Amino acid sequence: MKRLSWDQYFMAQSHLLASRSTCTRLIVGATIVRDKRIIAGGYNGSISGGVHCNDEGCYMIDGHCARTIHAEMNAILQCAKFGESTDGAEIYVTHFPCVQCCKAIIQAGIQSVYYANDYKNHPYAVELFQMANVKVKKVPFEDVFELKEDSLSGKQIAYIKELFTRLEENGTGKEELQELHDQAERLFKRGS
């Protein structure tokens, strides 16, 4: 494995944070960085001590889950809670931010947004980032480890299959399972 670039390192951290998500619709992680130092991280899920969507289902209002707070907001609020300035910081997010998170990012003084996956990239969010001179760059996550299927051991393959089985048993939806399967396919670059 080659040494990770800073962008890949912080994006990997966001993907790790996403594994804590309690959202059943989309798993998202965010890492806020200043001067090459992680100052906060967040994932999408319920408020502290609240009911989680993966336990009781989503609480939908107008097509949006009212129970979930987004990863970017959680990271920004963590900075507020612990007195870390976000002015001039960067944020690494697993998915392109929604309009509300875009506005929060701008208001927090974050100067750069790095995201791994396109997700309903709203033209107004793109416009707002441009108006605020916020740098936006896509940093694909699948290039981080450059693993090939033939480099995996039998134990590694069995472990990955077991993870998918457990996700299915724990109620992960078919769409999400398919998305995770597709990501694994890209990550391990089958047949290459």
Residues labelled as active-site residues: 72
Q: What stretches of the chain adopt beta strand conformation (E)? A: 29-34, 37-43, 60-61, 64-65, 90-95, 112-117, 135-138
Rounded CA separation 9/187 (Å) = 16
Residue 166 has phi, psi (to 5 degrees) of -65, -40
Q: Which of 148, 93, 143, 97 is nearest to 116 (CA)?
A: 93
Rounded CA separation 6/13 (Å) = 11
Q: Which of 91, 99, 94 is nearest to 125 (CA)?
A: 99
Rounded CA separation 164/86 (Å) = 37
Rounded CA separation 96/117 (Å) = 6
Tokens coding 168:
């299915």
